[in-house]
Amino acid sequence: MAAQPLNIVKMKKMKQDGIPLSMITAYDYPSARLAEEAAVDIILVGDSLGNVVLGYDSTIPVTLDDMVYHTRAVARGAEHTFIVADMPFMTYHSGITEALQGIRRLMQEGHAHAIKLEGGAEIADTVRATVQAGVPVLGHIGLTPQSVNQIGGYRIQGKDAADAERLMRDAKALEEAGAFGIVLELVTEEVAAAITSELKIPTIGIGAGRDCDGQVLVYHDVLKYTSDYMPKRFVKTYGDIGEQIKQSIGQYVNEVKNRSFPAKEHVFTADDSVVQALYGKVASEKTPEKVSSK
Ligand code: KIV
């Protein structure tokens, strides 16, 4: 029998048992399939899609249609993994009716198991209504990229006491509203540790230190899957796929130019009767040698 995806009840139990949660982003069928084969616990179809796949310089231009399209591809690639999809910029701030319409699309058309919303106490009512509608919600506080223009850049959060208290209040408001977990992004380690120990639901950190209940990284960061990878202090890279892709494509281009690709083993040959019809004689010097296509 095929493995069942993880669920939010088991995630809470994993926190109680001290078992870390692993989460990675994915945006398409092959990335999701590879992540599932690598046994990741949760796949996040993040709106970081905008930066790492669509070529925008922030997550703000990402639309609901983009998210539905990519979530659906991820769901096809990772049928046995718990999939969380981001609600993009400004799709959950104009009232719960509009928010639930978007969430319905991510789940019914995209086949997500849960959705993620950026924000703290100010979106607690939306979180509550979404959970009451039967949808698991992952919160996201700290550096919330959809508000980057308001925050004034990609700044570390929780550096002073007031900010630490605000983050703690936000985390508690989300837990109280029914969120099943909270992403803590770019939060000082001490503050993330304090939030993690106060909450019963798991925290999943990105640049939030070692004491969170789980960790999340962006696929393209883990693999350096870009031509101009910018090192980030909170990321560990585990591969250099970008360089491998560039070298492989470069080699292909060279071999096309110097005619070493395709080689004998890559061609299909016709019967003698075809050669006869074309050239009036069999096995002209011009024709390639026969290669079995079996
Ligand atoms: O969009 C995203 O990839 C995210 C992660 C950075 C948590 O929200």
- Percentage of the chain lying above the pLDDT 90 cut: 88
204 Cα nearest atom in ligand 1:
7
Q: Can you say how many angstroms the Cα of residue 185 is from the centroid of all Cα atoms in its chain?
A: 15
Q: Which residues contact 3 (CB under 8 A, 6 or more apart)?
A: 80
Span 176-233, pLDDT tens digits? 999 999 999 999 999 999 999 999 999 999 999 999 999 999 999 999 999 888 899 9
Q: Which of 61-70, 207-216, 244-253, 269-278 has the lowest mean pLDDT?
A: 269-278
DSSP 8-state code for residue 289:
P
Reduce the DSSP state of residue 182 to 3 states and report it.
strand
Residue 234, pLDDT > 60, answer yes
Residue 122, pLDDT > 90, answer yes
24 Cα–ligand 1 center, Å: 9
Residue with the smallest CA separation from ligand 1 atom 8 is 46
Q: Give the DSSP H or E segment for 275.
A: helix 272-279
Q: What is the pLDDT of residue 286?
A: 53
Q: What is the pLDDT of residue 293?
A: 46
Residue 270, pLDDT > 50, answer yes
Structure confidence at residue 294 as a pLDDT band (50, 70, 90): very low
DSSP secondary structure string for all residues of 121-164: GGGHHHHHHHHHTT--EEEEEES-GGGHHHHTSSPPB--SHHHH
145 Cα nearest atom in ligand 1:
8
The overall average pLDDT reported for the chain is 94
Reduce the DSSP state of residue 84 to 3 states and report it.
strand
45 Cα–ligand 1 center, Å: 8
Q: What is the pLDDT of residue 126?
A: 98
Report the catalytic residues.
Answer: 185
Mean pLDDT across the stretch 158-180? 97
Structure confidence at residue 1 as a pLDDT band (50, 70, 90): low
Mean pLDDT across the stretch 102-110? 98
Residue 261, pLDDT > 80, answer yes
249 Cα–ligand 1 center, Å: 29
25 Cα nearest atom in ligand 1:
3
Residue with the smallest CA separation from ligand 1 atom 2 is 46
Q: Can you say how many angstroms the Cα of residue 85 is from the centroid of all Cα atoms in its chain?
A: 8
Rounded (5°) CA angle 135-129-194: 80
- Protein residues whose CB sits closer than 6 Å to any atom of ligand 1: 25, 44, 46-48, 86, 140, 183, 185, 206, 216, 218
Span 241-255, pLDDT tens digits? 999 999 999 999 999
Structure confidence at residue 152 as a pLDDT band (50, 70, 90): confident
Q: What is the pLDDT of residue 140?
A: 98
156: number of Cβ within 10 Å: 17
- Percentage of the chain lying above the pLDDT 70 cut: 95
220 Cα–ligand 1 center, Å: 12
